[in-house]
Structure 1
Amino acid sequence: MITAQYHWNNHHVDQPTSAAQDLAHATRVSPIVAQILYNRGFKTAEAAQAFLHPGPEQLHDALLLHDMQKGMDRIEQAVSDDQQITIYGDYDADGVTSTAIMYETLSALGAKVNYYIPNRFTDGYGPNVAAFKKLIAAGTQLFVTVDNGVAGNDAIAAANEAGVDVVVTDHHELPEKLPDAYAIIHPRYPGAEYPFGGLSGAGVAFKVAQALRDEIPQDVLDLAAIGTVADLVPLVDENRVLVYFGLALLRQDDRPGIQALLKTAGIDPATITEQSIGFGIAPRLNALGRMEDATPAVELLTTLDENVAQQLAQQTETENRKRQQLVADISTAALAQAADEHHQHRQALIISGHDWHEGVLGIVASKVVEQTGKPTLVLNVAEDGHAKGSGRSVAAFNLFAALDGHRDLMTAFGGHHMAVGLTVPADNLDALADALDAEAVAQDLAAQGPSDVTVAATLPVPEATMDLYHDLLQLAPFGTDNPQPLFTFEPEAVTQVKAIGKTQDHLKFQLQTGTTRLNAIQFGAGDQAADLGAAQNVAVLGTLEDNVWQGRHSLQVMVKDLQTTSPAVVTLRTTQLHQAMFQAPGTYLFFHDNVYRQLAQQLPSDATAVLYTGQDLTPLAADQALYVVDCPDLTTDLTTALTQLKPTKITAYLYKKESLSRLGMPSRAEYAKLFKFVTTHQHVDVSHQLAQLSTFIQIPRTQLVFMIQVFFECGFISISHGIMDAVAQPAHKDLTTAPSYQLRLQQMQTEQDLLFCPSAALTQRLQRLIDLK
């Protein structure tokens, strides 16, 4: 059974209210789109039209940002006085695009400007005292930070002491104590009047460019769009405008670096979307900072040399592939650790390893959370005895609050509700794991259940059309606070289920209702192919996508979540029985007395053992599970028993220790060998000497027992108190007439029917017996 990872909160936009229908009429959109707009707060025609048709007039006055005028004056003074300006950036995609925007803007003003991208591993995030001092010694007379700075108190204090001003441009959470910077340009500065607080670092840099140039800097909209999408800030208001027009510029971008990057990434510029940024461009820019040094990313974005652009794009692609491989390798190890006996019962996880690249541990933590649903820290244990890494959480668990009260166990720590970074002495990992579990109890994580996800509507498969897809595109670009609408589908059947990809990581299938088929794909879910293929009732949650292959367009569902009802039939044919098979409540059906006597007393108190010997059986309760323990001798016995029990769910173990079909029938030569032995040896103690006899005449013991029984039934031998003797002058009799011989034939046919048929055929056979009830 596949359990949903999320709680699906259906808003039924396919049943629009009268207000939504009025909005649809006023804005000339479909009622479904109008209901989505209404649900997202665009309740008037004016608000909806502004959202549907972004325009430059929706950009706010840049001078409304706190300290914008002051910061702009200081930058202009530095340009006028030919002072060395250093842009101090960051190593992620938002940071490098912010740096590129500011660098190009100041260069165009004639500034003497350079930039510095801190190294993730040596400088850390934000202003670094040593880096500031080194840059000042090299001639920096003014720092302009981008995408960082509001937490750089020490470095900014050091700059002030050296007589160097710092203009901070940032968008991150403001600490209680702000640095003593010359200016702090921030969209959420306390008491400021800026209308929109959701700008990214690139967005703030864009606003500085807008103020300095006294116009909309259209030539850097492409960079602003990349930084905005990459940083997962709300894609509404001003950000929507930046991304909307930035995407238009990217589709015809003449930047050599962007062109080269798109080519190596296999992205067609003409079809670029916000998803192309989120899953193609941003990961590649991020890879440089995650792996080593992000400085080449700024060079790539700003170079005018096509040859340099191609070289840097190839370097970026190479680093991204290394990053992907590291993520895959570490994720495999991390997920295995998450499932081991030391971790599987914990509500929150601390996963650690040696020689794990610290630059990718946040991605790995996200993958573990996605697979397990548990808040997770992933750490690399270094030779110095410290473990360093990242953590990711779920909406129901405040990871920062959980760890904040245990700073005594850590040497460095920071973050927010959903993500943290930390350094811990390795000797403290067990104590921190226990503390994290205690915090999970304190926050009542177990009772929170899966996170809510907003579902637009449940769509019949035939109603998922290209027309609907194009209607929904009016809401794009999608992102935080403007998600792509999710729909649930409950098809009549799921077909063509298969795992795909080089390592079978991904899941592909078709939804079918009537004659309509709809392709679906879910990344990272290849291991669910068997369960999905066996499921009877399936619900799928996903978005509608345009799949383009060799120039042809087709609609498909990009699956976010799946759930199935418990399959009516589970086939687990086995040659070994384990205690774990007999832990669940239900009825356990046996066909052989020796197996029944061995296991009946080991069942749990809420389970019932039934030995079928041909008697009439009482139907089970409607919700009671049936477990078919061993394989019957006759297929008809199974059919009769199931018809009488009328189960609604069957788990078929069909245990048989040794296959008679594989052993086969004895040969004429083997029968002759045994006959010769019994006629030349009297008083053979077969009850104690069977093993020696098997070795002596070189016939497998199981086969030998069967042959002796056939001889006995045909009157060729006598057995009394375990002593075998030949019968003098026995009557001629055909061996095939012996009851044991006939039973063996029936048993072998039953094995073909039940044990050696394909799983799908057995499932169908048992399902038909359920349906007969």
Structure 2
Amino acid sequence: MIDSQYAWHLPENQDENRINEISTTLKISNLLAQILYQRGYQDVKTAHAFLNPHPDQLHDANLLYDIHKAVDRINAAIIAGEHITIYGDYDSDGLTSTALMYEALAMVGADVDYYIPNRFKDGYGPNVTVYEDLIARGTQLIVTVDNGVAGHLAINRANELGVDVIVTDHHALPKKLPEAFAIVHPRHPEGHYPFGELSGVGVAFKVASVLLEEIPQEMLDLVAIGEIADLVSLTDENRVLVNYGLKMIAQTERPGLQALLDIAKIEAPITSTAVGFAIAPRLNALGRLGDAMDGVKLLVTQDIDVAEELATKIDQLNQKRQTIVQEVSEVALKQALSAENQKRNTLVIVGDNWHEGILGIVASKIVEQTHKPTIVLTHVEQNLLKGSGRSVASVDLYAALAPISDHFVGFGGHAAAAGMSLASEELVFIKDTFEANVTASGFDVQQKIPLEVAGKLELNAINANLYAELAKLAPFGMDNPKPEFEITAQVGDVKQIGQAQQHLKFSLVAELQQKVPAIAFNQGLLAAEIKANAQAIKVIGTVDENVWQGVSSYQILIKDLKQAGLAIIDARTNKLKKNLFAKNQQYVFFKHKLAKQVQPYISKDAHIVDLEKANNILDDQITTIVDLPADINDLNMLQNHTYRQLTVIFYTPQQVYLAKLPTKHDFANLYKFIAQHHDLLIKDEIQQLASYLQVDKSQLTFMIQVFFELGFVTIDNGVLNGVVKPPKAELGTAPSYQARLKKQAVEKVLIYSKTTELKDLLSKILNPNVD
């Protein structure tokens, strides 16, 4: 049986009349109307507005607190000929924010340049030394984008040097705001802006709109990239900005962006998925592995040659980033799955010489695998750790760490992600407090995370019309995910794919043999279990389009799955190898001797069941039956237990089914020979005797054992002699003869049967009450 990772929540208590009204009035499918209703758009007006994002839905930028103070100061600087520096950030949101603000100021005649802090040298946000250096080189006004709201020290220093700082930011607000000239923030405590979920580039766009006295539509491509990359809520006005921004990307006149699209092999129509998985990672790679200044240069350059050169450099860095991430992730995940960490609700993973620029990605991968809020740190100096944290939807990472922010050297972030540095001696305290705070919030990793399911879907409904209907919900992203559907079907064509065979691919099969491909990323290890189970599978997934040579087909990208019934894996072999016992699972032995022999090769964390010693079988375990029982009925000992998966090896050191029993003639020849010869040294002469009698050595040994058990011969210190007047007895009554017949019968059923026959037999034995 395969259990689901999430708790599936299907729609309930829906107003069917409302749904029908939305469907009829807007001329959309009932399914789409149902999804809109689930997401809070429960009348025709709100549903229509959602499906038709329009610039009229944008909020007035003038409502942002301090925005006029900021714009007036910028205009004053322009008039006075002051040099303005845009101080950005090294991620995609920061780079697009910087490029947008730089272009806006340049358009109104400002003397402007930009600075992107180096992640490794300058750290995140305002840096005192950098501010001092910028001011020494002539900067007279600093405008931050996507940072600054926690930059007290650097802003205070700028004030001391007579330079104003305008902060435009969207990150979590500290208890006390810095003494900046102006702070433009959608959640400013003294402001009343109606939507607080703008990204850094979204805030910069609002400032540019007031500065330019119009909405700069040509900059919406930058807005879309930054907003999608920063995982802000794609609802309300963000939906409008991203919707139009994606269209701008498709017709971009930016040489740098076009070069990036070309090298990533992205073609129109441009989707949020393409931006999130192809454009943003490449821009982020600059800041993760080196200096991100080239990112802004790529976005603002008008030189095609420069654009292509920078795009190539960025792509190469991204490939290098992927390699480093893979290497670090493998090591970090092993640490995450340690016995100690298995007991925790949170993870703090620490490594040496890990590239600090990719720790956020590694943390995300661990969260994906473990469903636990995770911090990944590396030693950057003897007594200093730096790293990043990522969280699950139900845990506010910033809220869990903010109460102990004074124990960090540096700390910042929001609900889903955070960056931090800390002294080594603070590690234990932060690790324990992080665990305590998250646990106190009610999070328990043993409880399944809720997964909202849009509804049940039949395979025959998956077609171009359905895909076109669902596409009306795009752009997809945070708070507006692709709809997840429950699908039940039989399974076929199960296989592992990917360079490391880490992914799972199979076909969902319906009546009339209709097949729909399905892919589950990082679930390759389930292939054998699914293949071994005859039960139908239930999956939760999104409908995805594949276009090949102009022809569209559709597949399911799986989020979660479950399958009833016991998966029985046929691994029968006549050779036991060490790698068979490398896994941390349950191994069942019918014979104590074999259990003792192979115990040194079994993982220390594995559970050994020695049935001769009456060891307990643990329930709900991945279980392997190692050896062959002496009797079919011995398998009844496996009843009344549950197994996550059952693998059968049924090893026996010497198979007898294919070996013929000695004939009566063979027994007669042996008896005659013994009667004519005395004091036979069995150990020394058995091979010679077998050759003489023209029988196999093992057969000869078996016949001598039968004679001994029936009293036909004596064996004293290895010397065999016949009995002068032996008792009368049938050969078939000897215990060895009976055991041989029984072993042949057991081997016939358990070793030489077809896989399907074996699975049927085991299913009936393990579930005797099921017809």
Provide TM-score, normalisation by structure 1.
Answer: 0.84
Letter in 2 for 1:494: V
Deviations 1:26-67 (A, max 9, x none): 222212222222232223322222221112222222222222
Q: 1:522 & 1:41 partners in 2: Cα distance?
A: 29
Contact 2:566 2:646 in 1 (8 A): no
Residue equivalent to 1:505: 502
Tell me by how many angstroms 1:392 deviates. Answer: 2.2
TM-superposed CA distance for 1:300, in Å, is: 0.9
Match status 1:709 vs 2:702: yes
Aligned with 2:210: secondary structure? Answer: helix
Counterpart check, 1:5 vs 2:26: no
Residues 590, 135 of structure 1: CA spacing in aligned structure 2 closer, same or farther, 3 A cutoff?
closer
Answering whether residue 128 of structure 2 is matched by residue 132 of structure 1, we say no
- Return the letter of the residue paired with 2:6: Y
More displaced 10-residue stretch of structure 1: 339-348 or 461-470: 339-348
Alpha-carbon displacement from aligned partner over 1:12-38 (angstroms, at most 9, x marks no partner): 59x761011112222222122222222
Distance 2:672 2:248 in 1: 93
CA distance in 1, matches of 2:583, 2:151: 57
Task: Report the Cα distance in structure 1 between the residues aligned to 2:283 and 2:593, rounded to whole angstroms.
Answer: 68
1:718 matches 2:698: no
Matches of 1:579 and 1:72 in 2, distance apart? Answer: 66
Residue 602 (structure 2) pairs with residue 604 (structure 1): no
- Distance change in 2, residues 1:599/1:103 (3 Å): same
Q: 1:557-599, CA deviations, whole angstroms, 9 ceiling, x for partnerless residues?
A: 1111122235264556585999999989xxx996999999973
Cα deviations across residues 530-549 of structure 1 (Å, max 9, x unaligned)? 22222324221111111112
1:188: how far off?
1.8
Q: Secondary structure at the match of 1:47?
A: helix
Structure 2: which amino acid aligns with 1:543? Answer: T
Tell me the CA shift for residue 633 of structure 1.
5.8
Structure 2 SS opposite 1:468: helix
The answer to whether the aligner puts 1:286 opposite 2:284 as a matched pair is yes
Residue in 2 that maps onto 1:451 = 449
1:57–1:343 CA distance, 2 compared to 1 (3 A): closer
Number of positions where the alignment pairs a residue of Structure 1 with one of Structure 2 = 737
**1:314–1:238: structure 2 CA closer, same or farther, 3 Å change rule?**
same
Q: 1:311 to 1:153 in 2, by over 3 A?
A: same
Quickly say closer, same or farther: Cα 1:382–1:197, change in 2 above 3 A. closer
- Report the CA distance shift for 1:580/1:120 in structure 2 as closer, same or farther (over 3 A): closer
Q: For residues 342-378 of structure 1, give each alpha carbon's deviation from its aligned partner in whole angstroms, at most 9, with x where no partner exists.
A: 4333332222221111111111111112112222221
In 2 relative to 1, CA 605–155 (structure 1 residues): closer, same or farther, beyond 3 Å? closer
> What displacement does 1:424 show?
3.8
8 Å CA contact 1:12–1:456 kept in 2: the answer is no
Task: Give the gaps of 5 or more residues in structure 1.
Answer: 608-622
Q: Show CA shifts across 1:571-630 (max 9, x none).
A: 56585999999989xxx99699999997344323999xxxxxxxxxxxxxxx99999775
Structure 2 counterpart of 1:146, one-letter code: V
The one-letter amino acid paired with 1:656 is: Y
Taking the TM superposition and a 5 Å limit, the aligned residue runs for 1:656-667 are 656-660=651-655
1:374 aligned partner: 372
- 1:82 to partner: Cα distance: 2.3
Partner of residue 217, structure 1: 216
**Bigger shift: residues 659-668 or 525-534:** 659-668
* Secondary structure, aligned partner of 2:556: strand
| Partner Cα separation in structure 2 for residue 499 and residue 589 of structure 1 | 30
Post-superposition CA distance 1:68-120 (Å, at most 9, x none): 22221222222223221111111010100011111111122222111000111
TM-superposition CA deviations, 1:312-349 (whole Å, max 9, x none): 11111111111111111111111112223343333322
Secondary structure class of the residue paired with 2:215: coil
1:352 corresponds in structure 2 to 350
Looking at structure 2, the residues matched to 356 and 629 of structure 1 have their Cα atoms a distance apart, in angstroms, of 41
What residue number does 2:162 align with? 163
Q: Which amino acid in structure 1 is aligned with residue 43 of structure 2?
A: T
Classify 1:665/1:415 alpha carbon distance in 2 versus 1 (closer, same or farther; 3 Å): farther
Query: Is 2:120 the partner of 1:121?
Result: yes
Q: Report Cα offsets for 1:628-683 as digits up to 9, x if no partner.
A: 77524677x689x79x9899979464643414279978999xx9999999988726
CA distance in 2 between partners of 1:55 and 1:34 (Å): 20
Which residue in the other structure is 1:317 paired with? 315
Q: Residue 611 of structure 1 corresponds to which residue in structure 2?
A: none
Give 1:419 deviation, angstroms: 3.0
Contact 2:172 2:413 in 1 (8 A): no
Are 1:59 and 1:238, in contact at CA under 8 Å, matched by a contact in 2?
A: yes
Which ranges in structure 2 are unaligned for 5 or more consecutive residues? 597-608
Separation in 2 of the partners of 1:512 and 1:499?
A: 18
What is the CA deviation profile of residues 214-269 of structure 1, one whole-angstrom value per residue up to 9, with x for unaligned ones?
A: 2221111111111111111111221111111111111121211111101111211x
Aligned to 2:599: none
Give the corresponding residue for 2:101: 102
Give me the whole-angstrom Cα distance separating, in 2, the residues matched to 1:674 and 1:592. Answer: 35
* Aligned partners of 1:200 and 1:227 also within 8 Å: yes
Query: Does the alignment pair 1:548 with 2:547?
Result: yes
TM superposition shift of 1:486: 1.0
Local SS of the residue matching 2:173: coil
- 1:168 aligned counterpart, secondary structure: strand
**1:202 is paired with a residue of what secondary structure?**
helix
Secondary structure at the counterpart of residue 500 of structure 2: coil
Q: Secondary structure at the match of 1:518?
A: strand
- Secondary structure at the residue paired with 2:90? coil
Q: CA separation in 2, counterparts of 1:156 and 1:135?
A: 13
User: One-letter code of the match for 1:631?
Assistant: L
In structure 1, C-alpha distance between the alignment counterparts of 2:611 and 2:143, rounded to whole Å = 76
CA contact (8 A) 1:583 1:603 kept: no
User: Which residue in 1 is equivalent to 2:71?
Assistant: 72
Partner Cα separation in structure 1 for residue 671 and residue 76 of structure 2: 110
CA contact (8 A) 2:707 2:713 kept: no
Separation of aligned partners in 1, 2:584 and 2:261? 53
Question: What pairs up with 1:432-471 in 2 under 5 angstroms?
Answer: 432-439=430-437, 441-446=439-444, 449-471=447-469
Mapping 1:332-731, distance limit 5 Å: 332-404=330-402, 410-426=408-424, 429-430=427-428, 432-439=430-437, 441-446=439-444, 449-491=447-489, 493-515=490-512, 516-535=514-533, 536-567=535-566, 569=568, 599-604=611-616, 630-632=627-629, 651=646, 653=648, 655-660=650-655, 682=679, 684=681, 707-713=700-706, 718-720=713-715, 723-727=718-722
Conserved 8 A contact 1:30-1:471? yes
Q: Aligned in 2, Cα 1:514/1:22: closer, same or farther, shift over 3 Å?
A: same
Report the CA distance shift for 1:447/1:473 in structure 2 as closer, same or farther (over 3 A).
Answer: closer
Percent identity, please: 44
> In the alignment, is the contact (CA less than 8 A) between 1:712 and 1:719 conserved in 2?
no
Aligned equivalent of 1:613: none
Report the alpha carbon displacement of residue 760 of structure 1 after superposing the two structures with TM: 6.4
State the alpha-carbon separation in 1 of the partners of residues 678 and 550 from structure 2: 83
Amino acid at match of 1:457: G
Cα gap change, 1:745 to 1:557, in 2 (>3 Å): same
What code does the residue aligned with 1:85 have? I
The CA distance in 1 between the partners of 2:402 and 2:211, in whole Å, is 41
Q: Which position in structure 2 is the counterpart of 1:610? A: none
Distance in 2 of aligned mates of 1:112 and 1:697: 107
Kindly provide the CA deviation profile for residues 398-444 of structure 1, in whole angstroms up to 9, marking residues without a partner as x: 54454455568654444444433333444554555445444555445
Moved more, 562-571 or 189-198: 562-571
- Which residue does the alignment assign to 1:25? 24
State the AA in 2 paired with 1:353: G
CA contact (8 A) 2:674 2:722 kept: no
Distance 1:680 1:407 in 2: 94
